[in-house]
Amino acid sequence: MRSKKNLLWIVLLVIATVWILVRRNEGTYQTDNGIVFGTIYNITYQYTDNLKSEIEAELKKFDQSLSPFNQSSVISRINRNEELVADSLFQVCFNRAIEVSKATHGAFDITIAPLANAWGFGFKKGVFPDSLMVDSLLQITGYEKAWLKDGVVMKNDPRVQLSCSAIAKGYAVDVVAHFLESKGVKNYLVDIGGEIVAKGKNSRDGLWRIGINKPVDDSLSVNQEIQTILELTDIGMATSGNYRNFYYKDGKKYAHTIDPRTGYPVQHSILSATVVAEDCMTADAYATAFMVMGLKEAEAFTKLHPHIDAYFIYADENGAFKSYFTEGMVKYIKKINQ
């Protein structure tokens, strides 16, 4: 009997030793951070070497493709109607944007740039628009007004301009995640401005814990009060909200989410929308679309598309914070703070 117990302990010791050696061969957990696309990135990954320089090289390539603030980028040249074949980064992003636009019947729209600029939330400084200007800009807004043909963006009007601001950051997260996987990294968390891809386990061998901030007006991003804590792995997540990018004019608040269908900033009760999806690019686009839709339409959409999970924080008629989340979101929720 004792020999069997001893044998069992030996087997357990061997298993533990092998596990430790495997973990050691995968490397220690590295943490890199910095500034990109006007926001902060934090990337944690388990690897034998530090990959910050290579990660930033990937982000630089991304910036050269999809940043409208970079005058030599692919998207800037397309907006200037230069003839060129778009690179693969742009084409993948554009195609996914069109897919989401069709699925949401235009609540998400890559041609929002002229309206975003006019309202002061784009890559050009706008003049506060009147109704005539909004009506005019709506004539050159609509995802069906731009399409790809053999890698070249075609437009039905040269005034059509593209903005990937509501999808590109999530795509950048996916690009970094794919780079890490190409290096054989199995455990990582990529966070660019709150858009996230989580894979494997954290340094404590648990799932990655992600906080959703309470949507308190906070243009300086100093408020870090947590509304909900999620535990994630092997998934992408993105949050869109109107509590950090806004301004007041004549006593009225104007938020950065523009409804492409009306041309005006949204005035819905949803304060933030968090979406969990197979990749961060998709989550990013749908988070924006749900902010445009408003609570009732967004709730109905998620019920028809169960592969998209969402957590909405909204204000009731008394201004109190309330939440709605899909059934599929339950498995990720670790804690809800009141």
Is the confidence at residue 10, as pLDDT, over 70?
A: no
Name which residue leads in pLDDT, 322 or 141: 141
Order of strands, edge to edge, in the sheet holding 321-325? Answer: 28-36, 39-47, 188-192, 195-199, 235-241, 270-277, 309-315, 321-325
Q: What is the pLDDT of residue 217?
A: 58
Residue type, 117: N
Residue 245 has a pLDDT of: 52
Please say if the pLDDT value at position 22 is more than 50.
Answer: no
pLDDT tier for residue 219 given thresholds of 50, 70 and 90: very low
Global confidence as pTM: 0.87
pLDDT of residue 121: 80
Q: Which residue matches tokens 């906080």? A: 211
Q: What percent of the chain has pLDDT over 70?
A: 83
Provide long-range contacts, Cβ within 8 A and 24+ apart, for 213-221.
213/239, 213/272, 214/313, 214/321, 214/337, 215/241, 215/242, 215/243, 215/271, 215/272, 215/313, 215/321, 216/243, 217/243, 217/246, 218/243, 218/244, 219/244, 219/245, 219/246
pLDDT at 19 over 50: no
Band the pLDDT of 139: cuts 50, 70, 90: very high
Secondary structure letter of residue 67 according to DSSP: -
Give the distance, in angstroms, between the CA of residue 159 and the centroid of all CA atoms in the same chain.
27
Dihedral of the alpha carbons of 288, 289, 293, 296, in degrees to the nearest 10: -90
Tell me the longest C-alpha to C-alpha distance in the chain.
90
pLDDT higher than threshold 90 for residue 162: yes
Per-residue pLDDT at 306 exceeds 60:
yes
pLDDT classification of 223: cutoffs 50, 70, 90: low
Least confidently predicted of 117-131, 164-178, 277-291: 117-131
What would the mean pLDDT of 2-10 be, rounded to a whole number? 56
Given this model, what pLDDT does residue 316 score? Answer: 84
Q: pLDDT-based confidence at 150, cuts 50/70/90?
A: very high
Full set of structural domains in the chain with CATH: 69-155 (1.10.3980.10), 207-336 (3.10.520.10)
Residue 167 to residue 187: CA distance in whole angstroms: 24
CB under 8 Å to 26, separation ≥6 — which residues?
46, 47, 48, 186, 187
Q: Provide the pLDDT for residue 18.
A: 40
pLDDT score at 21? 44
The pLDDT of residue 220: 45
